Amino acid sequence: MDTTHQANAQQIAMWNGCAGRGWVEAQQSLDRLFEPFENLLVAAVAARNAQRVLDIGCGTGSTTLAVAQLLAKSNGTAVGLDISEPMIALAKRRAELVSTPPRFICADAQTYEFEPASFDMLVSRFGTMFFDDPVHAFANLRRAAMPNATLHTIVWRATEDNPFMTAAERAAAPFVPEIPARRPDEPGQFAFADRDRVYSILEKSGWSEIDIQPLDVACTLPEHELDDYISRLGPLGRVLQQVDAQKRAQIIAAVRSAFDPYVHGAEVRFTAACWTVTAVARPASH
């Protein structure tokens, strides 16, 4: 059995199916939720004075659009890339509404044939943890990087550091046994939780000056959006999209109390425990 092809096919199917639809439906809510990370990446692009920026796993395009707005001041260019057709379709529609639109590509960053040395900065907001062969993926991205280009990606730390992110599936486990278990060595949200593994991946794929630092960010969500968050996103959200409305409402009601510690009046608050990962594409020495 070609297990590599199978894993890759699973990611493509998931992000072009229920997971992609869930993110499209929740786009405005997710953009607000993850705006602090977008701001960090835009600030990093500004500090680097980058002019040709690739946003890896760009989703519905919020970070790419923000980078493009920044680069418009200096006639720079931004490109967003993602494997999800529904998410890229929404990103392209959003781009039509701005005066200096970025370019969006629906493709797998692991295998896409980038023009060599075409970007002076590569960024990602939670978009690099889904490669079935991450060394191959980051080597491909390394080839797309200009000499001395910078990589700046934000990824999740471990599940135990992010109890909010796993609260729904833990609470739902007695009612929905078919929720797939998260495995740290498989593509997914927490695939880069192990700092040493991330360092090794980047080192093997040709990146230099690798730096991985913990990043804890306060995130907020309106309380009235919590039910939609539970029902659309993550492993539980993907399962709930396959069940009838009555069962879905019953499960959401059953797991809702797991979020009580995070609800403060009209606001849901939690801390996102992440790594901020940077590296440089140094020219090979002769």
Residue 172 resides in a domain: no
Closest CA to 221 of 264, 162, 273: 264
Give the single-character DSSP code of 223: G
pLDDT tens, position by position, for the chain (286 residues)?
344 454 467 778 888 887 778 888 888 999 999 999 999 999 999 999 999 999 999 999 999 999 999 999 999 999 999 999 999 999 999 999 999 999 999 999 999 999 999 999 999 999 999 999 999 999 999 999 999 999 999 999 999 999 999 888 888 887 776 777 777 778 889 999 999 999 999 999 999 999 999 999 999 999 999 888 887 787 777 777 777 777 777 888 888 888 999 999 999 999 999 999 999 999 976 4
Who contacts 25 (Cβ-Cβ below 8 Å, separation ≥6)?
228, 232
Residue 37 resides in a domain: yes
Q: Based on the structure, what is the number of domains in the chain? A: 1
Residue 77 resides in a domain: yes
Domain that holds residue 59: 3-159+181-220+271-281
Residue 140 resides in a domain: yes
Q: What is the CATH number of the domain that holds 187?
A: 3.40.50.150
- pLDDT, one tens digit per residue, over 116-152 is 999 999 999 999 999 999 999 999 999 999 999 999 9
Residue 88 resides in a domain: yes
Q: Which amino acid appears at position 96 of this protein?
A: E
**Which tokens belong to 195?**
């700092």
pLDDT at 286: 47
Please give the Cα distance from 38 to 35 (Å, whole number). 5
Closest CA to 280 of 114, 50, 77: 50
Residue 260 resides in a domain: no
Residue 19 resides in a domain: yes
Element (H, E) at 14: helix 3-15
pTM for this one? Answer: 0.92
Helices and strands, counts by H and E, the chain: 12, 8
Alpha helices of 72-207 — where are they, by DSSP H?
Answer: 85-95, 134-144, 163-172, 195-204
Please give the Cα distance from 86 to 106 (Å, whole number). 9
The dihedrals phi and psi of 194, each to the nearest 5 degrees, come to -85, 110
Element (H, E) at 47: helix 35-48
Residue 123 resides in a domain: yes
